A and B are shown apart, each in its own frame.
Chain A
């Protein structure tokens, strides 16, 4: 029997099973979208595969209903944990009117849903970092007890908005957590050609905040470090930078072929670090995920994904007259 790590973090058995379900749902939705893309039914997919542990672990450490997240396009696991459901993800994939993120205006995975504290995002990377800092500034000005977490990829930490945003947060000691999901590759360019420093977390030092490197394939490890960062933020101790090291199990997007820039061996190694399987293994070892339960969960989520796909595929597009709507307040 393996050591039970989650109890000491204050997570119940139900919590960790729920975390697992969120990770697995993200994976299954992602896989479904690839199938739909290859079947010619949806034009575009950009994946979360390999990063679900970091996303779900981080989101689980926040106060849902109070805190805000400014996610990036891979954060399917994060937004599911923040209350988006399979149907909503599929509506976005099919660009249907009911898509809560954008009503079918944006590409899939450009998440946003005010009711759930998910801040709308765009395609230019890293613009969400100053936004999250702005939310944190609002918390400080209004003396409100909430934290804002923003997530981004490793490549994005080279953008001015990363440095400008973190510096602003550091100067004003704002309650914001910056989670870098370092999958060690920015489309095709590897970490070594992107980042001059030994790691990303060390950049925190320049901005007067602590920086942590954490195993991004372990949701419990990410949960723990985000939980601590949240406490710091709420206590007025300012921002935190967290680098969760993950893997990317797919090409950058459905328009990319990663065989042109990484070897089969590299991909095989990455698959050995598949966080969904690793976490399933942990749950089996602590005796929570029995074969029966695993099958039950698998069947339940498969049904959910199927129903979501059918619903979204048959849902209506927004009427063309709506193209002029919501440019300005009406």
Chain B
């Protein structure tokens, strides 16, 4: 003897509920399987519904006139025979598997585009963050939470002392700890990257720029009056380098994912210092400019760096760097390549030196040009030729050949 439930059937494709219009049976009535037991009304059909069992009505649960959802129990029956119909829905196991393996970190360094963008825009060191995503992945929300927590600057301070502790010594009380932040940090990261990745090699040549010096001396005052800014030596050097690069495109290149990309445009990065910050704006298409045009562009970029600040646009797209180390009185230096470029030229101080010409001493204006090159990409031979070309252009500059 078992108690069986009879439920509100689904009478029609869109029907979700039904109203018991009339019961044909009452408690205690004996009914046969398929005997009608009630009339049900839905908004699609009115129908008599049959009993699913042979037995005795045990309880009438829904009263006439009431509306119940499809599947709700409307009455129960006491059934003697073994039930043949499927009355219990097979329970399908649908437990959610939440696979959060605890220490799994295979995704630790897989960054989504959103995470990378946030990190770049906000100067965040992703190694500082703990990922809550799958396999320890750092999620966009993790970065947002990190930014909100204000930990960014804190951790930046923490890092350096840790390194110092390991390698040198605890800072003393009077020591000043300068947090590595902002531009300084960017410089640090970039220089490290460059030195770590690029096998640097160096070359140095000497150029006699006596004629160039004389020429500049003659025109510089007029130029300043006319243009409102100075005509620096650096403009001549940039000009010469741009010309030479046209003939040696091997040096006008960048290293990109193991490929060497030679650029059509000659965009020269130049270093501009501001306090203890260093910016590297770009003179775009320098090979298409006159010396005066270059001078003007250098002036514009330098002024902008010192005043309103350079825009992102001013600093991207460089294909080769010319560094004016001569400004500090340096006569020889080894530049670190401006990653991912493949070479950098340091223009040193112009110094008067005794030189033997035609077996006679002569006082000449001499400048050293120091080139650092990425030895993965370039070799001494091609770079030597390039430097020789730059030297030749510079030495040939005089009042007859150079036109500012």
The answer to A–B direct touch (Cβ < 8 A) is: no
Interface of A with B (CB < 8 Å)?
Answer: none
